[in-house]
Amino acid sequence: MIIGVIGAMIEEIEPLVKDLNLKRKLQKANMEFNEGSLWGNEVVVVKSGIGKVNAAVCTQILIDEFKVDAVINVGVAGGVGNNVYPGDVVIGESLVQHDMDSTAFGERRGQIPRLDTFDFKCDENLVLKAKRACEKMNNSKHFVGRIVTGDQFIADTDKIKWLNEEFDALACEMEGGSVAQVCYLNNIPFVVIRSASDNANNGAHMDYEKFKPIAVNNSVNILKNMLEVM
């Protein structure tokens, strides 16, 4: 089993690449794919870059070129759920792209027109493994629920309220929903694991810098605990 591991930013994958027993590096679409073994598993670790297009291209390359059997997207997120605070972990149960808007045609916000699903469901088995990994680390709270994705860094109290009410979202970020869509189209199991770096509110960009290292550390540790038992 080969697992593709995607982080959007160098900070999110650096600790993984450091521990990776590297077999091969491949450059494609301005991304560096690091193939090797990590904590007992065959993996390809890659920095996708930020946003949905980068994440989609990256995921499709993992599937086509590396024949990955599953994809795990790790990183930071804005906390949207009422009790989700910086440092807390959100394991995606499903993903929706909150910036997809065809309401002019009567579609629900987030619905991709002419696609046979509203949300993209994470693989139940991977969710369970992520949950078990979280339970082993008793220094942070974890939640399982919906994560929403858009090409926007959310730093607006009204917008987080809306994301929570409209989508029942626990966290917002900028790649997961796109990784999810590509995996859905290719029938590849996936899970998105995010740790909150901020509360997506008016001071989000400041909290983000402060809490990012803690959040990155959390998502890396969960992945480690997960891979060790896979």
Choice from 4, 7, 78, 110 touching ligand ADE (CB under 6 A): 78
Distance of CA 224 to the CA centre of its chain: 15
Q: Which two tokens stand for residue 190?
A: 């996936």
56 binds ligand ADE (CB under 6 A): no
Which of these, 185, 184, 180, 190, lies nearest to 150 by C-alpha position?
A: 180
Q: Does 63 interact with ligand ADE (rule: CB under 6 A)?
A: no
Question: Please, what is the minimum distance in Å from the beta carbon of residue 208 to ligand ADE?
Answer: 5
Q: How many amino acids of this chain bind ligand ADE (CB under 6 A)?
A: 14
Q: Alpha-carbon distance 200 to 196, whole Å?
A: 9
Cβ contact 111:175 at 8 Å: no
Would you call 64 a catalytic residue per the annotation?
A: no
Residues 143-172 that bind ligand ADE (CB under 6 A): 153-155, 172
Which alpha helices (H) appear in the chain, and where do they start and end?
A: 10-19, 52-66, 124-136, 157-167, 176-186, 204-228
Residue of minimal CB distance from ligand ADE? 78
With CB under 6 A as the contact rule, the residue among 12, 35, 119, 198 that binds ligand ADE is: 198
Looking at the Cβ atoms of 77 and 222, the one nearer to ligand ADE is 77
Segment lying near ligand ADE (by CB under 6 A), choices 17-25, 57-65, 74-82, 181-189: 74-82
Is the CB of 26 or the CB of 50 nearer to ligand ADE?
50
- Sequence-distant (6+) residues with CB within 8 A of 201 are 155, 156, 157, 160
| Catalytic residue of the set 93, 198, 209, 228 | 198
3-state DSSP call for residue 224?
helix
Active centre residues (catalytic):
12, 198
Q: Using CB under 6 A, list all residues that contact ligand ADE.
A: 76-78, 153-155, 172-174, 197-198, 200, 204, 208
